[in-house]
Amino acid sequence: MSLDNAEVEHLASLVRIGLTNHEIETLRDQLSQILEQFDVLRELDTTSVIPTGHAGNLESVMRDDLPGECLTIEEVVSNAPRTEGDLIRVKAVLEE
């Protein structure tokens, strides 16, 4: 499986990562090379094998919905790049 520049650019736009032309080319080659390593999995017949999502024997964990201690608003916004009062300021999402 090998990728071309357009596919790398599409991927980059999906994950919201800006890339330089040089990075696009490097990633194209490296990702193609890594994907090639995955071909080995085709040797295995996995028809009717149940997929494992987690290593433990997980069950859904529920708890009662009770009020408890939580962070203060000041703490929650303390690392935000831009704030206004108690709020986190963001750039306009909708155009006028």
What does the binding site for other proteins look like in residue numbers (CB under 8 A)? Answer: 3, 8, 11-12, 14-19, 23, 26-27, 30-31, 33-35, 37-38, 40-41, 43-44, 46, 49-56, 58, 61, 63, 71, 75-76, 78-82, 88, 90-93
Q: How far apart are CA 84 and CA 44, in angstroms?
A: 56
Question: Which C-beta is closer to other proteins: that of 61 or that of 85?
Answer: 61
The encoded tokens of residue 53 equal 């999502």
10 Å Cβ neighbour count for 23? Answer: 13
Q: Write down the least CB distance from residue 7 to other proteins, Å.
A: 8
Residue 10 has which token pair? 């599409």
